[in-house]
Amino acid sequence: MSIHAPEVANRIQLDERELPQRWYNIQADLPFPGSPPLHPATKQPVGPQDLAPLFPMELIKQEVSQERYIDIPQPIQEALRLWRPTPLMRATRLERELKTTARIYYKYEGGSPAGSHKPNTAVAQAFYNKAEGTKRLTTETGAGQWGSALAFATKIFELECMVYMVRISFEQKPYRKSMMRVWGAEVVPSPSDRTQAGKRIRAENPDSTGSLGIAISEAIEDAAGREDTKYSLGSVLNHVLMHQTIIGEEALVQMERAGAMPDVVVGCVGGGSNFSGLAFPFLRDRLGGRSKTRFLAVEPAASPSITRGKYAYDFGDTIGMTPLLKMHTLGHAFVPDGIHAGGLRYHGMAPLVSGLADHGFIEAVAYPQRTVFDAAVQFARTEGTIPAPETAHAIRAVIDEAVKARERGESPTILFNFSGHGLLDLAAYDAYFDGTLSDVTLSEARIQELVGSL
């Protein structure tokens, strides 16, 4: 039994009065010009009026704002205090297990009602919609993390909520659907018969199991067609990433209190929001030349958009209804294979993350899922908490960094985002233990085919 009294605090908790009062907008500090979204028909930069049918004006302003900081309205702060500030943990037990010379910290975002970081932006989006008179929000969801977060947030701010859930998840993962029901949202499997997009896809392929791109098409069509309804997206867009910076602003204070600033910041990436939420406030110092912190984005080998995709203009959805975004993409028609980290199954990457990666500020690495679950189980058996499969991608990279540090005799401080717990993903752990989990890796030939067509 190797139990020692902790030499340092292994849990750093902020007081509720220390909740950050403003978000950090990294657009103000980019050392390169941004690439504006283009209208899908005209290929010209979109203006606020193009986006007005889908988003409230305040969010449209945030999307293009050059202000470094944006105040968080009081009602949003009050909602965030239901679970924030979140703890910063030092993974002392994992460090011992790895016999590493590295120090490992993680920001724990699994304590929100929906169990992930997603509510950080969901409550903000629900608030601004409510304030501008929206009655109803539509969205898409894959495994259900984002849908459940928005269901929670719309209930808090008294809006109706309509969730288009990727059909295969709707059928195979009933419990996040149950959560949405508890919070009063309507959930339908996508492709559905509620939209032209859904009907068209079902006519072409009655057995379609759906995809995130298809569900986005449906949610957008629904919102565009009703005066009282707007659309909400859980990642990718600038304002969404900005709402997540509350994670990193808290973590900065906590790391200072721990007396340890990170040498490397790690997060998993699907659309990019949890990674950005932790990383951007630390990137502020790197962009300003005040730190040499590394930033490591971790993606699944089944959907390796940064590591293997092309940096190009592409649609955010399958049908081609969204503006064109400059991003790392595997092509909007690409439907990633059914890995358990449903939140990482996206063909593209947030334009801000893509731009920063393209300019060398963000590194990326991709892992197949069995080695990711090895890391997940190692973490659960040392630190206790069972991570979501998405989060486990970050943990895989952190363990590899920590082992490298030991081998090199270095003592870096590693900080990662524990984006969500895995209590609604236990079937995936069963598959892992039963040996039925396959390593889904996008083949070289398929990558060439996908990227070549862009």
Phi, psi (rounded to 5 degrees) for 316: -80, -20
Which tokens hold the place of 393?
A: 């991608």
- Near a second copy by CB under 8 A: residue from 386, 394, 437, 447: 386
Q: Does the protein bind a second copy through residue 1 (CB under 8 A)?
A: yes
Alpha helix (H) ranges present in 300-388? Answer: 305-308, 351-358, 369-383
Minimum Å gap between C-beta 242 and a second copy is 21
Number of C-alpha atoms within 13 angstroms, CB side, residue 215? 32
Minimum Å gap between C-beta 131 and a second copy is 8
- Near a second copy by CB under 8 A: residue from 174, 203, 404, 439: 174
Q: Could you give the CA distance from residue 343 to residue 271 in angstroms, rounded to a whole number?
A: 8
Q: DSSP 3-state assignment of 405?
A: helix
Q: Could you give the CA distance from residue 407 to residue 416 in angstroms, rounded to a whole number?
A: 21
Minimum Å gap between C-beta 380 and a second copy is 5
Residue whose CB is less far from a second copy, 107 or 308? 107
Q: Does the protein bind a second copy through residue 181 (CB under 8 A)?
A: yes
Q: Does the protein bind a second copy through residue 283 (CB under 8 A)?
A: no
Which tokens hold the place of 415?
A: 């900080």
Q: Does the protein bind a second copy through residue 113 (CB under 8 A)?
A: yes
Closest to 196 (Cα-Cα) out of 161, 224, 238: 224
Q: How far apart are the first and last CA of the chain?
A: 56
Which tokens hold the place of 61?
A: 């302003």
CA angle 385, 389, 395 (to 5 degrees): 65
Closest to 280 (Cα-Cα) out of 68, 115, 117, 105: 68
Alpha helix (H) ranges present in 48-160? Answer: 48-51, 57-64, 74-80, 92-98, 119-131, 145-156
Q: Does the protein bind a second copy through residue 5 (CB under 8 A)?
A: yes
- Near a second copy by CB under 8 A: residue from 34, 75, 320, 338: 75
Q: Does the protein bind a second copy through residue 226 (CB under 8 A)?
A: no
Minimum Å gap between C-beta 168 and a second copy is 19
Which tokens hold the place of 70?
A: 């944006």
Query: With contacts defined by CB under 8 A, how many residues of the chain interact with a second copy?
Result: 56
- Near a second copy by CB under 8 A: residue from 89, 124, 283, 397: 89
Site string for a second copy, 11-50 (x = CB under 8 A): xxxxxxx---------------------------------
Q: What type of residue sits at position 119?
A: P
Residue whose CB is less far from a second copy, 113 or 281? 113
Minimum Å gap between C-beta 27 and a second copy is 28
Q: Does the protein bind a second copy through residue 98 (CB under 8 A)?
A: no
Q: Are 150 and 139 in contact (CB under 8 A)?
A: yes
Q: Could you give the CA distance from residue 174 to residue 425 in angstroms, rounded to a whole number?
A: 11
- Near a second copy by CB under 8 A: residue from 118, 130, 308, 396: 130
Q: Does the protein bind a second copy through residue 427 (CB under 8 A)?
A: yes
Q: Could you give the CA distance from residue 51 to residue 220 in angstroms, rounded to a whole number?
A: 11
Minimum Å gap between C-beta 176 and a second copy is 8
Minimum Å gap between C-beta 258 and a second copy is 11
- Near a second copy by CB under 8 A: residue from 45, 83, 406, 454: 83
Environment class of residue 49 by beta-carbon count within 10 Å: exposed (0-12), middle (13-18) or buried (19+)?
A: exposed
Residue whose CB is less far from a second copy, 224 or 377? 377
Give the list of residues 6+ apart from residue 255 with CB closer than 8 angstroms, or none: 88, 105, 261, 262, 413, 415
Which tokens hold the place of 219?
A: 């949610």
Site string for a second copy, 405-424 (x = CB under 8 A): ------------------xx
Residue whose CB is less far from a second copy, 187 or 366? 187
Q: Does the protein bind a second copy through residue 224 (CB under 8 A)?
A: no
Q: What type of residue sits at position 307?
A: T
Q: Could you give the CA distance from residue 90 to residue 133 in angstroms, rounded to a whole number?
A: 43
- Near a second copy by CB under 8 A: residue from 33, 259, 289, 384: 384
- Near a second copy by CB under 8 A: residue from 31, 47, 370, 433: 433
- Near a second copy by CB under 8 A: residue from 54, 124, 166, 179: 179
Q: Summarize as ranges the residues that interact with a second copy (CB under 8 A).
A: 1, 3-6, 9-17, 74-75, 78, 81-83, 85, 89, 93, 111-113, 115, 130-131, 152, 155-158, 174-175, 178-179, 181-184, 377, 380-381, 383-386, 423-424, 426-427, 429-430, 433
